[in-house]
Amino acid sequence: MAEKRIGRRTIEFASPPAVAGFASVVCKKEGEGPLSGTFDIISSDPLFGEKTWEKAESRMQKTAFMKALEKAALSRTGIDVIFGGDLLNQCIGTGFSVREFGVPFMGLYGACSTMAEGLISAAMAIDGGFAVNAAAITSSHFCTAERQYRFPLEYGGQRTPTAQWTATAAGAVILSEKPGRAVLTKAAIGRIVDLEIRDANNMGAAMAPAAYDTLSALFEDTGTCPSDYDLIITGDLATVGTRILRDMFKADGVDITSHHDDCGMMLFDGTQDVHAGASGCGCSAAVLCGYILRSLEERLLKKVIFAGTGALLSPTSMQQGESIPGICHAVCIEAR
């Protein structure tokens, strides 16, 4: 066990799992953004042919998984275990999306950090010899999230400037013990950081301290600095959380600005009314399964930290006056 750990918080995979296939599915608004050319499927129908928003989210996630399998040249029976989750209560989006597959399934809840959490879990299963092929899947849908966390869409509530727009998007990654053009080499599992932020419309501020905590641990454990990576990408801090994260590192004398970007700032552009930026499990998943992994396969990027951030709140906790705990899981992905 000690042989696979570096320092206090970082895991180093002895046999780095490779990315065998990946896919992203988004809706019209996300497809109008600057990354439109990197997504596999852009749907003009937010219901994806279904009758409810929740069924639409399951359909979107299932479509991403099937597309990733196709690109990996695998059938569903070739997957040993699926790790996945979403923002909905009891992770029903994922549970219903995989129920017909007959594949062992482990449900995860990391809020917007779910894709990073799924990648780490799948990589550990493969590196530990418990799986040959494993999948990480997640999704979010603007309409399901609004209905659960805030107000019915018909209410027309005004959003604050710090609010983020939940992406209607899904991503799926197939990891394998077989060689590939991009591999997961290291990971830092996050711990909960809670600075008593209580504004559910300012999740960037709640998550930024967790991103700082995990990235600082990764740098310290590995003896690296931001300039050692082509890109350090967080998700989803958006504009507010990004400023906080960069200021926290500047207080340590570390400038990450030239090597850092955030999925919540990349998914949309200034022409769309999304206030502080994007959020949701599907935001970082779609950016990862679009721009990032494509760039690694094409060697436009060679070494990336993908740091998924999540706000671990629920409607019940907010109604009871609880603060918003933050979490961040980071994965180092390298081109081979």
Residue 84: closest CA among 137, 43, 128: 137
Going by their DSSP bridges, the two strands 278-279 and 165-166 should be labelled as parallel
How high is the pLDDT of residue 256? 97
The SS3 call for residue 330 is strand
- Tokens of residue 141, six digits: 């849908």
Low-confidence ranges of the chain (pLDDT < 50): none
Task: Please indicate, yes or no, whether residues 168 and 247 belong to a single structural domain of this protein.
Answer: no
How high is the pLDDT of residue 155? 54
Task: Please indicate, yes or no, whether residues 93 and 204 belong to a single structural domain of this protein.
Answer: no
Label residue 124 left, alpha or beta by phi (over 0 means left) and psi (-120 to 50 means alpha). Answer: alpha
How high is the pLDDT of residue 90? 93
Task: Please indicate, yes or no, whether residues 234 and 268 belong to a single structural domain of this protein.
Answer: yes
Q: What is the pTM of this model?
A: 0.94
The whole-angstrom separation of Cα 303 and Cα 121 is 20
Among 151, 176, 201, give the residue marking a domain's end: 176
The whole-angstrom separation of Cα 118 and Cα 220 is 24
Question: What is the domain-level CATH number for residue 62?
Answer: 3.40.47.40
Condensed to tens digits (0 to 9), the pLDDT of residues 154-205 reads 555 667 767 777 899 999 999 999 999 999 999 999 999 999 999 888 889 9
Going by their DSSP bridges, the two strands 10-12 and 133-140 should be labelled as unpaired
- Tokens of residue 323, six digits: 């603060």
How high is the pLDDT of residue 274? 82
Among 176, 208, 242, give the residue marking a domain's end: 176
Query: 22 and 68 in contact (C-beta within 8 Å)?
Result: yes
Task: Please indicate, yes or no, whether residues 64 and 206 belong to a single structural domain of this protein.
Answer: no
Task: Please indicate, yes or no, whether residues 136 and 242 belong to a single structural domain of this protein.
Answer: no
Task: Please indicate, yes or no, whether residues 295 and 152 belong to a single structural domain of this protein.
Answer: no
* Burial classification of residue 99, based on how many CB atoms lie within 10 Å of its CB (0-12 exposed, 13-18 middle, 19 or more buried): exposed
Give the domain range for residue 306. Answer: 182-335
How high is the pLDDT of residue 273? 77
How high is the pLDDT of residue 2? 60
- Tokens of residue 301, six digits: 């990027």
Radius of gyration of the chain from its Cα atoms, rounded to whole angstroms: 18
State the helix-helix crossing angle for 53-72 and 142-149, rounded to 10 degrees: 140
How high is the pLDDT of residue 246? 98
Condensed to tens digits (0 to 9), the pLDDT of residues 57-69 reads 999 999 999 999 9
In the chain, how many domains are there?
2
The whole-angstrom separation of Cα 321 and Cα 314 is 11
Among 141, 176, 211, give the residue marking a domain's end: 176
